[in-house]
């Protein structure tokens, strides 16, 4: 099913409070060097620890992309390349990551599986070295809650996406449930050491990045992760 067959998400899923434009996205602050260190340590065990549990969301994301022949896809935060074999051969894929250790595993995977329709580059997600409108689909799987500046990364993703293209986030976001969100804020300074902030505020993130989603779907089991699809006007 194409993403354009999806219904617009309920307003309560997108807007939470009148201060979304100014409130902090998370209680946890990180820098690129810290993130690189975390993922360098996780590189060899990432597929075991985050592979099977989060894979249903990856499969659903690829399905919702509805990739057409010849389309250009940018995966922001390609990591160990766990998604590489999911892409159809009729598209071209560029994967970027800040961690050289993760990229080394991704390159080994691509070579082993003889994947020919992609390139892998080391790059800062907040400073993409691509021209405006370079891609039809820009996709960030399990990334946006770990980068130092999620809004800047989203703005860069928007910039390099063509008009009418899709910008997609697959991620855990702060729960709208008051009790659960309180717990997520408390544990976020600790979860960052295993690769993500537990309390990234989705409504504030979308508002501050000036993005309007066309669909928000809960994925994985338990359904604590969201697949957020936006279309660039």
CATH number of 219's domain: 3.40.50.150
Q: For position 163, what pLDDT does the model report?
A: 98
**Which residues form the domain of 186?**
3-231
Half-sphere exposure of 63 (CA within 13 A, CB side): 12
Q: For position 209, what pLDDT does the model report?
A: 97
Q: Across 7-123, where does the E strand assignment appear?
A: 72-76, 92-97, 118-122
Return the closest-CA partner of residue 103 out of 194, 40, 53. 40
Radius of gyration over every alpha carbon of the chain, rounded to an integer in angstroms: 17
The answer to whether 202 touches 151, Cβ cutoff 8 Å, is no
Backbone φ and ψ of 74, nearest 5°: -115, 120
Lowest-confidence region among 31-35, 133-137, 168-172, 209-213 = 31-35
Residues 90-130 have pLDDT tens digits of 999 999 999 999 999 999 999 999 999 999 999 999 999 99
Number of domains in the chain: 1
**Torsion angle of alpha carbons 60, 85, 131, 67, nearest 10°?**
-50
- Please say if the pLDDT value at position 11 is more than 70: no
If one counts every other C-beta atom within 10 angstroms of the C-beta of residue 204, the result is 23
Lowest-confidence region among 36-40, 114-118, 123-127, 171-175 = 36-40
Q: For position 16, what pLDDT does the model report?
A: 52
């Amino acid at each position: 099913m194409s993403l354009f067959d999806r219904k617009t998400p309920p307003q309560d899923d997108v807007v939470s409070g009148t201060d979304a434009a100014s409130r902090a996205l998370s209680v946890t602050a990180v820098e690129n060097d810290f993130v690189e260190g975390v993922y360098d340590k996780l590189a060899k065990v990432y597929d075991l620890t985050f592979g099977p549990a989060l894979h249903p969301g990856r499969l659903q994301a690829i399905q919702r992309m509805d990739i057409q022949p010849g389309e250009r896809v940018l995966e922001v935060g390609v990591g160990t390349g766990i998604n590489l074999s999911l892409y159809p051969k009729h598209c071209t894929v560029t994967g970027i990551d800040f961690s050289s250790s993760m990229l080394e595993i991704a390159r080994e995977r691509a070579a082993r599986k003889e994947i020919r329709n992609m390139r892998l580059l080391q790059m800062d997600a907040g400073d993409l070295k691509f021209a405006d409108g370079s891609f039809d689909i820009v996709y960030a799987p399990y990334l946006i809650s770990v980068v130092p500046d999620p809004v800047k990364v989203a703005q860069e993703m928007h910039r390099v996406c063509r008009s009418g293209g899709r910008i997609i986030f697959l991620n855990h976001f702060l729960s709208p449930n008051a009790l659960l969100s309180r717990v997520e804020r408390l544990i976020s300074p600790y979860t960052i050491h295993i690769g993500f902030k537990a309390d990234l505020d989705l409504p504030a993130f979308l508002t501050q990045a000036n993005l309007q989603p066309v669909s928000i779907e809960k994925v994985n089991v338990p359904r604590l992760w969201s697949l957020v699809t936006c279309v660039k006007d």
